[in-house]
């Protein structure tokens, strides 16, 4: 079958602004959702969920959040780890403080709280740009980690300074705590990932997204044609913080279950998510997924092939991973700032013309 | 004085109304440089008002004052019969003043359609929450505004590049897209800073036609900066002439053309 929009003419502006304008894409997307919700939960085991699916789903949310800020609105942030920590600690305080409320709402509220914190740390963006803004968000990163380490109230004065997620259920099935079945944890995260992606897509295809991109491309012109820069930037920080906070909450409560803030949400995390966005593609929701998948799968792949298959020592494989990621970042930054998403688009363009390239 | 009631019909049948904007004794300084010196003029509804003058005369600065990008040290801007308080540029835009730039200022990372749709900010007011849900209010608003934008796209004959990223367009088309973005706002006053600069003869003719047609069709009040005297004489109803920040002439093209100070400025007669 040919991949093209032939015979698929748009007869209305509603059709034209669809998420997947080409029919084959659309069916592929529905099929993917059906498999993700209807088939995978029956197949997955503990290894797949914990090594691949949960980190992929959660990092995808974080990458979408950061992409809104960096890729769509052009505001650099190195504070993603710190903001994820805000989501995690908000979730912990809510879970332990209001055990009668469903964890689902705790996660959403954690996103809301992180959004507020993110706006606060986004205020400098009204005055400073680029490198200086990056440094300001870096300060936020270190401050937040320090805060959660130091102030006992955040970790309920536990002796270890760690926080542990108590068991919480949805429809009577545990999604957090030591006893949660892998498929339940997976489905719980999947719901959030799909929800966040839809919201992000809706915002970016409408006026909110256009305002962000206008600020990104030329802030002075944007203001002169009517974009309120203060509102546009702060909504980007808020929406970004909302997603990153949800990712942090899920990372702590569903994925790890117990964390020490410096380890789980250190500066490394900020860079990891930033790399996902760069490799996946700045300014693309699909790219956020691609980048998250790539950086989650790469170490798994290297470990299985090099260590498991060829018998390399683990640390050598880990070093190779650093080198690959480093090289890819350079390649993408220089040659293809729109990342994997753009490579995918180009492939599709070619496919659309195939087999008659002229 | 504002005389909002007065109006007349031009020889070619267009209706010129009362004064919609009045600049009163505007002075704008950058440190020691006086870019605009005590200039007053008015803009009437429906007219094409040209601002001409040699390089560095202060024409762009004047547009920047109108669009709120610069706040003049002295003088007042009167808009629709009211004195305008100091405003941010985006607030001025929300009041219905749209513009293009001398050096094209499109959003290079966006498609032509998205660029033009961004011009609809004034008309699109749905909140963030409704946009997040999309179905319902946000979608309805998007579709209604898309229809309006498509009319402008048709009008300026840029249908074929609708989905093209702006960064891939040649210079002349970019200028046209920028005009489309400004028109999308359905402005009360349209400010054009050298819309034909750097164009070849054919492109200039196209652009002149678009400016005239827009004025004709929608009655858009237009303020036009242009160096090409032929174009100015053809298009404009009235002309302000600036030189070294001062106003040296104001009137119909014929009046201005026979003004001695204007002739001197353009022939480069030494200033004493
Ligand atoms: N932001 C600024 N800072 C300092 N000086 C400025 C600034 N903008 C303009 N000027 C000065 O003000 C004067 C008028 O500049 P302006 O750009 O308004 O001229 P113009 O009539 O548009 O010229 P051109 O035909 O070359 O576009 C010039 O002397 C210019 O150097
Ligand atoms: Mg100029």
Closest CA to B23 of B58, B63, B54, B56: B63
| Domain B1-96+226-272 CATH superfamily | P-loop containing nucleotide triphosphate hydrolases (3.40.50.300)
pLDDT score recorded for residue A317? 81
CA gap B157, B194 in Å, rounded: 20
Domain boundary assignment for chain B: 1-96+226-272
Distance CA B159, CA B177 (A): 11
Ligand nearest to the CA of B37: 1
A242 has pLDDT over 90: yes
Which atom of ligand 1 lies closest to the CA of B57? 21
Q: How far apart are CA A220 and CA B234, in angstroms?
A: 32
- Does B101 contact ligand 1 (Cβ within 6 A)? no
Contact flag A224-B93 (C-beta cutoff 8 Å): yes
| Ligand 1 pocket member B30 (CB < 6 A) | yes
**Structure confidence at residue A50 as a pLDDT band (50, 70, 90):** confident
- The encoded tokens of residue B148 equal 């309006």
pLDDT tops 80 at residue B272:
no
Does the C-beta of B60 come closer than 6 Å to ligand 1? yes
Whose alpha carbon is nearest atom 24 of ligand 1?
Answer: B55
Is 70 exceeded by the pLDDT of residue A328? yes
Residue B1 scores a pLDDT above 50:
no
Select the residue from B67, B87, B90 to test the A interface by mutation, using most A Cβ atoms within 10 A.
Answer: B90
Angle between helices A229-250 and A80-97 (to 10 degrees): 60
Ligand 1 atom showing the smallest separation from residue B61 Cα: 18
- Give the Cβ contact number of residue A141 at 10 Å: 23
| A249 in Cβ contact with A111 (< 8 Å) | yes
| Ligand nearest to the CA of residue B64, numbered in listed order | 1
DSSP letter at B111 equals: B
Which has more confidence, A319 or B42?
B42
What proportion of chain B, given as a percentage, has pLDDT over 70? 96
Cα(B166)–Cα(B110) distance, integer angstroms: 6
Cβ contacts of A282 on chain B, cutoff 8 Å: none
CA dist., res. A325 & res. A279, Å (int): 9
pLDDT given at position A329: 82
Angle between helices A267-280 and A54-67 (to 10 degrees): 80
Give the single-character DSSP code of B147: H
Query: What integer is the mean pLDDT of B53-57?
Result: 92
Q: How far apart are CA A235 and CA A229, in angstroms?
A: 10
Q: What is the pLDDT of residue A131?
A: 85
Residue B34 alpha carbon to ligand 1 centre in Å: 9
* A129: closest CA of chain B, how far (Å): 18
Span of A77-81, A223-227, A327-331 with lowest mean pLDDT: A327-331
The residues, ordered by sequence, that sit 6+ positions from A127 with a Cβ below 8 Å of its Cβ are: none
Q: What tens digit of pLDDT does each residue of A91-141 get?
A: 999 999 998 899 999 999 999 999 999 999 999 888 888 888 899 999 999
Eight-class DSSP state of B57 = S
Query: Exposure string (b/e) for B32-46, b if CB count within 10 Å is 16 or more?
Result: eebbbbebebbbbbb
A15, closest residue in chain B (CA to CA): B143
Query: Strand (E) positions, A137-176?
Result: 163-164, 169-170, 173-174
Q: Indicate if the pLDDT at residue A156 is higher than 60.
A: yes
pLDDT in tens, B171-211: 999 999 999 999 999 999 999 999 998 888 999 999 999 99
pLDDT for B192: 96
User: What local confidence, expressed as pLDDT, does residue B2 receive?
Assistant: 43
Give residue for tokens 């989501």.
A87
Q: Please report which confidence band the pLDDT of residue B19 belongs to, taking 50, 70 and 90 as the band edges.
A: very high
Instruction: Give A16's contacts in chain B (Cβ within 8 Å).
Output: 146
What stretches of B168-272 adopt beta strand conformation (E)? Answer: 189-193, 221-225, 238-243, 246-251
Structure confidence at residue B4 (pLDDT): 47
| Token output for A235 | 């909504």
CB neighbourhood size of B217 (10 A):
9
Q: Is residue A217 predicted with pLDDT exceeding 90?
A: yes
B146·A223 Cβ contact <8 A: no
Q: At CA A22, angle to CA A19 and CA A27, rounded to 5?
A: 80
Copy the structure tokens of residue A177: 């705590």
Torsion sign over Cα A48, A52, A56, A59? positive
Contact B248, B265 (CB under 8 A): yes
Per-residue pLDDT, A10: 63
């Amino acid at each position: 079958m040919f991949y093209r929009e032939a015979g698929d003419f748009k007869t209305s502006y509603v059709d034209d602004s669809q998420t997947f304008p080409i029919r084959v894409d659309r069916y592929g997307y529905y099929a993917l959702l059906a498999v993700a919700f209807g088939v995978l939960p029956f197949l997955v085991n503990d290894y797949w969920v914990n090594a691949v699916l949960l980190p992929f789903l959660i990092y995808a949310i974080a990458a979408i959040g950061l992409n809104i800020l960096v890729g769509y609105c052009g505001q650099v942030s190195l504070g993603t780890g710190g903001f994820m920590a805000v989501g995690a600690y908000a979730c912990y305080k809510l879970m332990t403080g209001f055990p009668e409320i469903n964890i689902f709402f705790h996660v959403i509220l954690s996103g809301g709280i992180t959004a507020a914190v993110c706006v606060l740390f986004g205020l400098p963006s009204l005055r400073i740009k680029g490198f200086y803004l990056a440094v300001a968000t870096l300060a936020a990163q270190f401050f937040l980690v320090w805060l959660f380490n130091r102030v006992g109230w955040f970790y309920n004065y536990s002796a270890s300074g760690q926080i542990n997620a108590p068991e919480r259920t949805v429809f009577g099935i545990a999604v957090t705590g030591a006893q949660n079945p892998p498929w339940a944890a997976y489905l719980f995260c999947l719901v959030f990932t799909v929800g966040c992606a839809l919201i992000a897509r809706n915002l970016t295809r409408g006026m909110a997204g256009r305002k962000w991109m206008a600020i990104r491309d030329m802030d002075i012109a944007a203001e002169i044609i009517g974009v309120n820069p203060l509102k546009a930037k702060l909504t980007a920080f808020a929406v970004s913080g909302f997603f990153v906070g949800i990712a942090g909450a899920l990372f702590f409560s569903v994925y790890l279950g117990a964390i020490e803030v410096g380890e789980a949400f250190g500066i490394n995390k900020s860079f990891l998510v930033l790399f996902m966005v760069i490799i996946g593609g700045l300014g693309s929701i699909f790219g956020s997924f691609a980048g998250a998948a790539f950086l989650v799968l790469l170490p798994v792949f290297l470990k299985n092939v090099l260590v498991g298959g060829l018998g390399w020592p683990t640390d050598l494989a880990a070093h190779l991973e650093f080198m690959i990621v480093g090289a890819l970042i350079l390649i993408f930054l220089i040659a293809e700032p729109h990342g994997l998403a753009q490579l995918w688009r180009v492939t599709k363009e070619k496919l659309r013309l195939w087999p008659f390239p002229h | 004085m504002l005389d909002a009631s007065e109006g007349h019909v031009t020889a070619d049948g267009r209706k010129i109304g009362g004064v919609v904007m009045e600049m009163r004794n505007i002075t704008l300084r950058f440190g020691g440089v006086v870019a605009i010196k005590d200039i007053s003029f008015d803009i009437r509804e429906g007219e094409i008002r040209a601002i001409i003058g040699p390089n560095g005369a202060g024409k762009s600065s004047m547009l920047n004052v109108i669009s709120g990008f610069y706040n003049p040290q002295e003088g007042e801007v009167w808009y629709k019969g009211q004195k305008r308080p100091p405003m941010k540029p985006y607030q001025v835009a929300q009041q219905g003043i749209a513009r293009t730039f001398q050096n094209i200022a499109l959003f290079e990372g966006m498609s032509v359609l998205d660029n033009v749709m961004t011009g609809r900010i004034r008309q699109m007011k749905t909140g963030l929450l409704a946009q997040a849900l999309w179905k319902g209010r946000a979608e309805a608003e998007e579709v209604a505004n898309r229809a309006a934008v498509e009319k402008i796209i048709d009008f300026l004959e840029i249908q074929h590049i609708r989905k093209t990223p702006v960064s891939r367009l040649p210079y002349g088309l970019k200028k046209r897209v920028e005009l489309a973005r400004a028109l999308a706002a359905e402005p009360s006053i349209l400010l054009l800073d050298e819309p034909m600069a750097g164009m070849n003869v054919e492109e200039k003719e196209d652009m002149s036609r678009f400016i005239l047609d827009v004025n004709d069709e929608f009655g858009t009040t237009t303020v036009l900066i242009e160096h090409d005297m032929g174009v100015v004489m053809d298009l404009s109803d009235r002309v302000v002439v600036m030189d070294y920040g001062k106003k040296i002439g104001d009137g119909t093209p014929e009046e201005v053309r026979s003004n001695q100070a204007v002739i001197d400025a353009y022939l480069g007669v030494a200033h004493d």
